[in-house]
């Protein structure tokens, strides 16, 4: 029998309380709550399309059981900014043409944000290759993605954002 667990999630600054099956993934929970910007790709940890921040770390939500997140902060790509006040990564991906079909874009932006918060605000090409190595893109060839992350990192440094 699959037990349910009572949880509280803080998603993009909004509190959700729910009873979730113990085997439910964070990807299933997020999409069930309407956070469709979190993409469902391989559902086995290969593509990175489902990445979200848990506190400040990027995780594959398809590999994360929801109850283990407990009361930590969950941030999706939509939680990083708004249309009126976009995150520098949002702006750079648009301006540099780093999104084509866009399916991988939420995960790429989350992985890049995790790098900017935890590792470096002045990434080399190798830093970016490593940070985004868990995110598969079928369209862009990555050059424009790295251009966009470089441009966004410059803005973040100028704004004094994540280290």
Q: List residues near ligand FES by CB under 6 A.
A: 40-43, 45-50, 60, 62, 99-104, 137-140
Comparison of 8 and 23: residue with beta carbon closer to ligand FES: 23
The two three-digit tokens of residue 93, written as one number: 């991906």
Closest distance to ligand FES from the beta carbon of 47 (Å): 3
Please state, in angstroms and rounded to a whole number, the distance separating the CA atoms of residues 41 and 137: 11
Closest distance to ligand FES from the beta carbon of 97 (Å): 10
> Would you give the DSSP letter of residue 103?
S
Closest CA to 143 of 123, 127, 129: 129
Closest distance to ligand FES from the beta carbon of 109 (Å): 11
Comparison of 12 and 40: residue with beta carbon closer to ligand FES: 40
Comparison of 7 and 137: residue with beta carbon closer to ligand FES: 137
Integer CA distances (angstroms), 133 to 42, 100, 106, 137, in order: 15, 18, 15, 10
Closest distance to ligand FES from the beta carbon of 101 (Å): 3
6-37 residues labelled b (16+ CB within 10 A) or e (exposed) = ebebebbeeeeeeebeeebbbbbbbbeeebeb
Angle at 25 between CA 30 and CA 120, to 5 degrees: 75
Please state, in angstroms and rounded to a whole number, the distance separating the CA atoms of residues 155 and 162: 11
Comparison of 11 and 60: residue with beta carbon closer to ligand FES: 60
Closest distance to ligand FES from the beta carbon of 33 (Å): 17
Comparison of 134 and 162: residue with beta carbon closer to ligand FES: 134
């Amino acid at each position: 029998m699959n037990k349910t667990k009572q949880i509280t999630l803080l998603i993009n600054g909004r509190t959700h309380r729910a009873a979730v099956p113990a085997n439910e993934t964070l990807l299933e929970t997020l999409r069930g709550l309407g956070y469709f910007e979190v993409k469902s790709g391989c559902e086995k940890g290969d593509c990175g399309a489902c990445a979200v921040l848990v506190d400040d770390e990027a995780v594959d939500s398809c590999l994360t059981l929801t109850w283990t997140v407990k009361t930590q902060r969950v941030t999706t790509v939509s939680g990083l900014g708004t249309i009126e006040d976009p995150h520098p990564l949002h702006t750079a991906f648009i301006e540099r043409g780093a999104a084509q079909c866009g399916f991988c874009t939420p995960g790429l932006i989350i992985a890049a944000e995790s790098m900017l918060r935890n590792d470096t605000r002045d990434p080399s090409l190798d830093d970016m290759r490593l940070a985004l190595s868990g995110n598969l893109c079928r369209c862009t060839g990555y050059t424009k993605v790295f251009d966009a992350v470089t441009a966004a990192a410059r803005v973040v440094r100028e704004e004094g954002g994540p280290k």
